[in-house]
Structure 1
Amino acid sequence: MVSRRTFLAGSGAVAAGGLGWFQTGSAAAAGQAGQASGQVGSGLVSAATESGGRRLLPSFARPKHLHYGDVTKLSGGDQTLLTTLQGVVNRSRPELYFSFSTMDNDGVDARWLRDSGVPSTRYADPLDLVAKYKRRIRGAILHDPEVPDSLNVATTLAGLENAVVADAAQAKAHGLRVVKDLRGMFDDDRVKTYRWQLTNLFPRCSHQLLAGLPPTMVVQTENVNWREIARETRQIRDESNRGTFTLDVSPALGQDVVYVRFQDSFGNDGWGPSVLSVSAKANGTTIATFAPGTPEEAPYLFDGLNSSIGASGNRFSDGGGYFIYQFTPPAGTTSLTVTVEMWNQYLVTATDTAPTRIEPFPYFRDYVVATRSLVSWLPPNGPTGDLLREHFAKVGPTTPYAGWFANDVAGEWSGVDLAAQGGSEVLPADFYMNGTVHSGVVAPISDKVRKFTPVKPQKKIYVTLTFGEGDNVQYCQRHMRDLWDDPRRGDAPANWTVSPLLADIGPGILSHYQRTATKNDLLVCGPSGAGYTYPGAWPADQLDAYLELSGTYVRRTGMDLVYAYNHRVDDEWVPFSEAIGRAYAKHTPIRGIIQSWEKGDLLVRRGGLPVIGNFSAPGKAAEYKAALDEHTKAWTGDAPLFIAGGVNAWSWTPTDVAELAELLTAPYELVLGNVFFDALNKVL
């Protein structure tokens, strides 16, 4: 499967049926009381009730003029300095904006800035903005480079103390007074570090949201020469090529360390390499032997952030992901071999140049600092998961957890499940940039449900295609914008999942998609409502609160379909219960549910609502069509058949959808989700 975290023009016609618009984005947000004293409530931007119902996420004042710069060439440390400065400055009114995709090639940040209509001034060197706004901050919180998690503690303190996050060298270079020096305060005990923060800082924080951000990130080294060692040239997904392979990586010998990378030889279908055992020999002598996921692996796993451990104990990585092992052969080694048991679509390459480096993770910190939120990074299993559970217990039901979880796919499943058990929905936002600006932009949001022409169900196979990932607001901000700008968008019907919480944290983004949608684009609510969650994992006495909240947001944004998950039992996804269906029917104005992580066979009513399983297929158009033919081969043609097809947003584009549509001749009929569920309701 492809990780949801793998990544990071049409007619422009307004949707048929008329639009009812209201302005969203806080033109007079709370929290403009001048410089904050560090106490909760002083200058803090608060969630508020507005037209259309409750606002879940804090908003900011409408920006009047923005100072911006391209930070793509800066280190993660300098980006962190600027994003925490941005949080303090933008708390009262947004004035700082940064581009994380170069402004010179019309990157997404440039497009959103242009679309906002806010006047702006560009700085060739964005670090000049530190001097410009130095008087607006109290100084710097120094994190400890030897203890990565101290960066998150420093971020929490920066919000409370109106300071920036810096290391000692940065503070000296910019002449910043040291407000708090965290060096030497913490050690490698992550639980102890974040427990100290929960005890000592949480009482001072805003409790409107919890944040989860990695303290560091892996940055690619430039100009690395990778040598190909082995490649599977067939699209194999069934382990039929499983075997033990001895790979000669001697051509990569040169420097002290050799790095061996495993990635997907077919990055568009989600069946990358699986490795079950590894050993290495230098001049015939064993220098390493280990199994993935064990303590013995740790010294050799250079980069496993984009991989996961499977049920068999195998390490795998799909799509655009990879994992890298490092080996240090003795001086004078002339022969280095690596023996692995592996299968599926592998591409193995090697180099003697360190391919990545570790830097501070800067993203979304402006929003965390501006809202004075507590930020941590606690993997959701084991002792760290127990502490994360305590975090959820300290906030009220439906308090959002914004950011993400460690350990890729496994971390997603267990993290979202843990949050749901604690009564919190998840806002995937760890790569959401300039949140303090986007949440303040005033833009028209339609609350009118899209009108359509119903069809009388005939003896056809009705197919509706849905781009996933829309609960992920950074996807909506970044990758979806690139997909949306595909010139073939609108050539074929497609549903686009988006987060209704964009009405708070990115009204200009949501408004753009509403206003530029063609007649063949339908925005639907991403999993599983107002924030990503598994409804079946919620405490029974709190689920109604989440679905009431979801009802508020789908009404505010005119959505009447939801793409949803439920929860897992014994590693299997469980269909929605009758009780959950009734709760959706009672609290949300939806006409149906597409349930994800299903094989396309589910078709039931729950609470009177049709629930249909999501059908997914690997490959692009021709392979997808072949999978549809195989899936529907038992259809007799005596009655309509309905297929809710999933579209992989990380590997498909509207051009791919248009190519598939050309293949879906009779008896197939491709329709939008509203037409699909209207017809389904008539026959189910």
Structure 2
Amino acid sequence: MRKIGLLMGSLALLPGAGHAQASRYAPYPAAQQPSEGLSWPKGQALPIFAAPAEKLDTIVVQALSKDEQITFSALQGQVNRKQPRILLLDERSGEGRDTWPKTLKLGMAEPLPREAKWDLVKKYAGEVTGVVLYDPSKNPHFRNLAGTAAGIQRALPVTREVMADMKAAGIDLKVVEDLTGLDLPSPMELYAHMHKHYWPKCDRRVIVNAKPHDQRGGGDYHHTRDIAAATGAAVVWLDTQNDKQRDVLRTFFRDMKAGDGIALGWYSTERTGIPLATEFGIGTLPADFFVSGSVYAGTDPRITVPPVPRMPALENKVYISVFISDGDNIQYVQHAMRQAWDGSSEVRGKVPLNWTIAPGLVDIAPGMLNYYYAHATSQDCFVTGPSGMGYLMPVNTLTEPGAPIGPKLTEPARMDGYSRMTETYLQRSGLRVATIWDDMTPMQRASYEKHCRNLYGATVQNFKDVPEVAGGVQNGRLRFDKLVIPYAGSNEHMHGTMVERIREWDGKSPLFLSYQVEAWKMRPERVLALQEQLEREYPGKISLVRADHYFNLMNQAEGVPYNLCLAPETVVKAGAGDAALAMDGSPSTHWSTAEKDKRWLGFDFGAPKEVRRYVIRHAGDGGAEESRNSRAFTIQSSMDGKSWKQVHKVTGNLHNVTDIDLSPVKARYFKVTIDDAGADSTARIAEVEIFGIN
């Protein structure tokens, strides 16, 4: 018997004693939202900010020059560090400049006109220590060095021209550091200087990759720089296609701790940058177009996970699951995904879709994550973008200059750190399926199986014909499924391979096919059209399904433990209260009762099963006895519902999640009885999962 306990910080407040209720709350926040300042516990990628002010001062990015954007994003970070009060707006946001502020009910003052922009600096000048002077004409990377130095010293990075404009507006800040006398003509020299003199003063939990010039596709002068200023992070930009510059960037990542660090921004190219951070177990949140993170990180951190519908009964047919790419990019979630999501409201609900999304949104934009969750249909399933908490590329399968094929993360300790952090964010976000770009070695898969207990399964892939990329089941529990196509851009491509696989199918057992589609080309309406085409061609033989259903159905078909509580034939009852709330797939609802001698939940699987594991997600009461509420319990099994055997008994449990591997238990009935309901005598359970085979 293996017991896995998860303790992930304090629970949010719940009502006191009472009968069954469907209260909404965040069962596993990393920390309570502070009334002021930042909350940043160990193992949390990014800090939780205080709630935004009732009315935010706003300014449009397009009203600022490049170096003014450097200054104002730093001002935003320094001010918002105490409480979010400054919102930068982007007129070019595809979803609409004010869409998210209005959606999240943020109070906004009218944006300052260009001629009044210095009024904002004047208003908050008392909250910074001064300025760090730099000259980008000597080397544009001085923008990043100045941003790093200013973040450490709670100052503003400014050029001489910006400083002169500030003085003309009546703002006279002292120079806390002058970088204009430094002779650092190359990026390598400048970042070596940063690593030696400034990096040791950073806490090394966040690194921001921001391009400080317009070479190859434009520069990055404000995106996520507010987060860098608020956290005192290093801001860097080294060409990952250049071997020597890549080695300098390695010196930064080498000092970061896997499981307690994250990169924000982007790289010269995807396959030279992501694998480099991957070497050290550091995931990346692609954020090179993400705006005002220091405001959105202060939205309500309580995540409301949508309920999960029961999966269909297993039949001898073809099951297809379609994953939409690019949700790991938090700027995509902020901009393009919002457009696709709202624009497909008439289509969503008609076809099962698996939307990749970044678990890190629970830190940097919980309000955005909650928006998608709140407006999801029963056909919308959310899964992690690659490859968990931050974009990681454990094994690269596509050769590019500077990016050879092969494993990138080879140190087990760093892999374990990333896996543990991923599990924390799976629990906090409610995500149950991961997409891996591209593949995982046996060591990496074993780490995921051991530490990512919340996963039903994960997809793997190859962009070239790499023979060793394959699906499989790790340790009899965690399934890895190889995508048929990893990045499909057309219905024709997908349909052709489906027809080929169906023709080869012997029809003796279910066939499972998974695909990932390119978000920019394969809109939901195209997936719906594909589903309709397949229904015409193979009536009654094809089912598109959600990812969580897909992995559980495949496990059921192949004798691997699956969640019996998702099966359509499983019934739950309770001594009192609404038992269905403990089996609705959402930890954001809970079953509760205060009736003495009726504090039990009973499960009928419809037929005998071999039970291998159970999971209980506990619900706290918010009081002094919270850590013990409903955490002392007895598990029993029965074949006939009359004669019961004790399977397991738990006392003195302090974990938010109780996860127990059992010696196989043959049973049709399973019962959870609360032995200690806590000080208010109310038993509460957020969710029960029972895993077994037929």
> Same fold per TM (> 0.5)?
yes
**Residue type at the aligned position of 1:117:** K
Contact residue 72 and residue 100 of structure 1 kept, 8 A: yes
Please tell me whether residue 529 in structure 1 is matched to residue 518 in structure 2.
no
Structure 1 segment 174-253 matched on structure 2, within 5 A: 174-175=166-167, 176-177=172-173, 178-217=175-214
Contact residue 140 and residue 179 of structure 1 kept, 8 A: yes
State the partner residue of 1:467. Answer: 324
Structure 1 segment 1-150 matched on structure 2, within 5 A: 21-22=25-26, 28-29=33-34, 32=37, 45-48=38-41, 54-65=43-54, 66-101=56-91, 107-125=95-113, 127=117, 128-146=119-137, 147-150=139-142
Which whole-Å CA distance do the structure 2 matches of 1:631 and 1:186 have between them? 62
Structure 1 segment 599-678 matched on structure 2, within 5 A: 602-608=470-476, 609-616=478-485, 618-630=488-500, 632-665=502-535, 666=538, 667-678=541-552
Which whole-Å CA distance do the structure 2 matches of 1:18 and 1:650 have between them? 38
Evaluate the alpha carbon distance shift between residue 18 and residue 474 of structure 1 in structure 2; reply closer, same or farther with a 3 A threshold. Answer: farther
User: How many Å apart are 1:450 and its aligned residue?
Assistant: 2.7
Which whole-Å CA distance do the structure 2 matches of 1:188 and 1:484 have between them? 46
Please tell me whether residue 363 in structure 1 is matched to residue 223 in structure 2.
yes
Which whole-Å CA distance do the structure 1 matches of 2:31 and 2:183 have between them? 39
What stretches of structure 2 of length at least 5 have no aligned partner? 1-20, 395-406, 559-694
User: How many Å apart are 1:579 and its aligned residue?
Assistant: 3.6
State the partner residue of 2:624. Answer: none
User: How many Å apart are 1:153 and its aligned residue?
Assistant: 0.3
Which whole-Å CA distance do the structure 2 matches of 1:72 and 1:652 have between them? 32
Please tell me whether residue 594 in structure 1 is matched to residue 582 in structure 2.
no
Contact residue 499 and residue 526 of structure 1 kept, 8 A: yes
Structure 1 segment 55-454 matched on structure 2, within 5 A: 55-65=44-54, 66-101=56-91, 107-125=95-113, 127=117, 128-146=119-137, 147-175=139-167, 176-177=172-173, 178-217=175-214, 305=216, 361-380=221-240, 381-408=242-269, 412-446=270-304, 450-454=308-312
User: How many Å apart are 1:470 and its aligned residue?
Assistant: 1.8
381, 392, 411: which is aligned to 1:539? 411
Q: Which SS does the other structure have where 2:434 is aligned?
A: strand
Evaluate the alpha carbon distance shift between residue 462 and residue 101 of structure 1 in structure 2; reply closer, same or farther with a 3 A threshold. Answer: farther
User: How many Å apart are 1:390 and its aligned residue?
Assistant: 1.4
Q: Which SS does the other structure have where 1:445 is aligned?
A: coil
Evaluate the alpha carbon distance shift between residue 395 and residue 576 of structure 1 in structure 2; reply closer, same or farther with a 3 A threshold. Answer: closer
Please tell me whether residue 558 in structure 1 is matched to residue 430 in structure 2.
yes
Which whole-Å CA distance do the structure 2 matches of 1:447 and 1:619 have between them? 30
Percent of pairs with identical residues = 28
State the partner residue of 1:37. Answer: none
Evaluate the alpha carbon distance shift between residue 370 and residue 613 of structure 1 in structure 2; reply closer, same or farther with a 3 A threshold. Answer: same
Contact residue 615 and residue 645 of structure 1 kept, 8 A: yes
Contact residue 26 and residue 441 of structure 1 kept, 8 A: no
Contact residue 25 and residue 440 of structure 1 kept, 8 A: no
Deviations for 1:194-237, whole angstroms, at most 9, x for unmatched residues? 1111111122223221222111236xxxxxxxxxxxxxxxxxxx
Contact residue 135 and residue 159 of structure 2 kept, 8 A: yes
344, 348, 359: which is aligned to 1:489? 348
Which whole-Å CA distance do the structure 1 matches of 2:549 and 2:187 have between them? 51
Deviations for 1:163-221, whole angstroms, at most 9, x for unmatched residues? 22332222211225444333342343211101111111122223221222111236xxx
Which whole-Å CA distance do the structure 2 matches of 1:438 and 1:116 have between them? 9
* Aligned residues: CA RMSD: 2.8
Evaluate the alpha carbon distance shift between residue 607 and residue 470 of structure 1 in structure 2; reply closer, same or farther with a 3 A threshold. Answer: farther
Which whole-Å CA distance do the structure 2 matches of 1:200 and 1:373 have between them? 14
Evaluate the alpha carbon distance shift between residue 93 and residue 100 of structure 1 in structure 2; reply closer, same or farther with a 3 A threshold. Answer: same
TM-score (ref. length: structure 1)? 0.68
State the partner residue of 1:244. Answer: none
Evaluate the alpha carbon distance shift between residue 510 and residue 28 of structure 1 in structure 2; reply closer, same or farther with a 3 A threshold. Answer: closer
State the partner residue of 1:262. Answer: none
State the partner residue of 2:641. Answer: none
User: How many Å apart are 1:457 and its aligned residue?
Assistant: 3.1
Evaluate the alpha carbon distance shift between residue 394 and residue 216 of structure 1 in structure 2; reply closer, same or farther with a 3 A threshold. Answer: same
User: How many Å apart are 1:142 and its aligned residue?
Assistant: 3.0
Which whole-Å CA distance do the structure 2 matches of 1:163 and 1:193 have between them? 20
**Residue type at the aligned position of 1:556:** R
Structure 1 stretch displaced more, 123-132 or 519-528: 123-132
User: How many Å apart are 1:447 and its aligned residue?
Assistant: 5.4
TM-score (ref. length: structure 2)? 0.67
State the partner residue of 1:309. Answer: none
**Residue type at the aligned position of 1:480:** M
Contact residue 59 and residue 111 of structure 2 kept, 8 A: yes
Contact residue 450 and residue 558 of structure 1 kept, 8 A: no
**Residue type at the aligned position of 1:97:** L
State the partner residue of 1:572. Answer: none
Please tell me whether residue 581 in structure 1 is matched to residue 438 in structure 2.
no
User: How many Å apart are 1:477 and its aligned residue?
Assistant: 1.7
Evaluate the alpha carbon distance shift between residue 401 and residue 214 of structure 1 in structure 2; reply closer, same or farther with a 3 A threshold. Answer: farther
Q: Which SS does the other structure have where 2:548 is aligned?
A: helix
State the partner residue of 1:272. Answer: none
Q: Which SS does the other structure have where 1:216 is aligned?
A: coil
User: How many Å apart are 1:370 and its aligned residue?
Assistant: 0.7
Contact residue 75 and residue 359 of structure 1 kept, 8 A: no
Deviations for 1:533-576, whole angstroms, at most 9, x for unmatched residues? 1345141122222212211111111111111125xxxxxxxx43
Which whole-Å CA distance do the structure 1 matches of 2:219 and 2:546 have between them? 44
Q: Which SS does the other structure have where 1:583 is aligned?
A: helix
User: How many Å apart are 1:360 and its aligned residue?
Assistant: 5.7
Evaluate the alpha carbon distance shift between residue 167 and residue 447 of structure 1 in structure 2; reply closer, same or farther with a 3 A threshold. Answer: same
Which whole-Å CA distance do the structure 2 matches of 1:599 and 1:463 have between them? 22
Residues paired across the two proteins, number: 501
Contact residue 499 and residue 525 of structure 1 kept, 8 A: yes
Which whole-Å CA distance do the structure 2 matches of 1:593 and 1:525 have between them? 9
**Residue type at the aligned position of 1:110:** D
Which whole-Å CA distance do the structure 1 matches of 2:90 and 2:488 have between them? 31
Deviations for 1:628-659, whole angstroms, at most 9, x for unmatched residues? 32454433433322111111112232222222
**Residue type at the aligned position of 2:330:** V
User: How many Å apart are 1:517 and its aligned residue?
Assistant: 0.7
Q: Which SS does the other structure have where 1:551 is aligned?
A: helix
Which whole-Å CA distance do the structure 1 matches of 2:464 and 2:481 have between them? 10
Which whole-Å CA distance do the structure 1 matches of 2:226 and 2:298 have between them? 13
Contact residue 426 and residue 532 of structure 1 kept, 8 A: yes
Contact residue 301 and residue 363 of structure 2 kept, 8 A: no
Which whole-Å CA distance do the structure 2 matches of 1:661 and 1:650 have between them? 19
Q: Which SS does the other structure have where 1:158 is aligned?
A: helix
User: How many Å apart are 1:113 and its aligned residue?
Assistant: 0.8
State the partner residue of 1:329. Answer: none
What stretches of structure 1 of length at least 5 have no aligned partner? 1-16, 33-44, 219-304, 307-357, 567-574
**Residue type at the aligned position of 1:663:** Q
